[in-house]
């Protein structure tokens, strides 16, 4: 468990609370509750009441919606140092998606009864507004991708977006760290796992990509860009 000073350090490094006053960070550190989650544990479910927002301390939280056939669509991914469930600051609504832990995860929860102190801070209001706007833009990009583009374009865009630059001092190719399993990636791209696997294997045979299950190496980035932005 994190003591108060360690909580203050974690909060002070987060995307939401970085640069806030020491008194505000101390207030949040004092009143938040630490929670440990195992893989696939639920943080909250769609249509739950908005009781808290959460800062991810370690691990990852996926935001998920489910179709009538039970298929999952991952609509957001929140890693350590970032906030999830910030819509709790909007009164009169319910959760718009469910949130699950990916692997061993720890979060700090701040309950609704403490929000008034946060909302009295102008910097916090500006920061949360920017965060909500980024979330909205991300959802719009996701909607465009899953509705208007074929699987190979969606996969190519995912790889390009999450690509880690190659080290210019060594002769290595750019690569992409992959989710824990193909099921998660399939849920991100609005497809089935078998269809995704077929597409990945085809690109491997063509030499476009290579690598192991936890990391994909991009062998021909120009070809991948053409796949990403080809007309459907």
For residue range 147-175, list pLDDT tens digits in order: 888 999 999 999 998 887 555 444 578 89
> Minimal CA–CA distance to 58: which of 2, 18, 8, 96?
2
> Minimal CA–CA distance to 151: which of 101, 185, 106?
185
Q: What is the pLDDT of residues 80-121, one digit of tens each?
A: 999 999 999 988 889 999 999 999 999 999 999 999 999 999
> Minimal CA–CA distance to 49: which of 111, 128, 102, 135?
111
Which pTM value belongs to this model? 0.82
CB count, 10 Å around CB of 209? 23
Find out whether 197 and 182 touch, Cβ atoms under 8 Å.
yes
CB count, 10 Å around CB of 145? 18
Beta strand segments in the chain, E = 33-37, 42-44, 52-66, 72-79, 83-84, 98-111, 175-177, 209-212, 215-218
Cα distance between residue 136 and residue 130, in whole Å: 10
CB count, 10 Å around CB of 211? 15
At residue 165, the pLDDT reads 58
**Percent of the chain residues topping a pLDDT of 70:** 96
């Amino acid at each position: 468990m994190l003591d108060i000073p360690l909580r203050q350090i974690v909060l002070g490094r987060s995307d939401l609370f970085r640069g806030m006053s020491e008194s505000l960070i101390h207030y949040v550190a004092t009143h938040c509750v630490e929670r440990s989650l195992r893989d696939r544990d639920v943080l909250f479910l769609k249509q739950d009441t908005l009781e808290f927002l959460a800062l991810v301390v370690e691990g990852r939280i996926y935001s998920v919606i489910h179709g009538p056939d039970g298929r999952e669509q991952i609509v957001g991914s929140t890693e350590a140092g970032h906030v999830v469930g910030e819509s709790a600051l909007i009164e009169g609504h319910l959760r718009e998606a469910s949130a699950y832990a990916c692997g061993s995860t720890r979060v700090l929860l701040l309950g609704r009864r403490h929000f008034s102190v946060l909302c009295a801070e102008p910097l916090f209001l500006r920061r949360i507004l920017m965060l909500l706007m980024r979330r909205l833009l991300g959802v719009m990009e996701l909607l465009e991708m899953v509705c208007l583009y074929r699987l190979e374009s969606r996969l190519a865009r995912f790889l390009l977006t999450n690509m880690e630059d190659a080290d210019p001092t060594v002769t290595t190719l750019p690569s992409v760290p992959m989710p824990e399993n193909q099921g998660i990636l399939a849920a991100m791209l609005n497809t089935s796992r078998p269809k995704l696997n077929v597409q990945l294997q085809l690109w491997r045979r063509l030499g476009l990509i290579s690598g192991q299950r936890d990391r994909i190496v991009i062998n021909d980035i120009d070809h991948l860009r053409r796949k990403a932005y080809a007309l459907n």
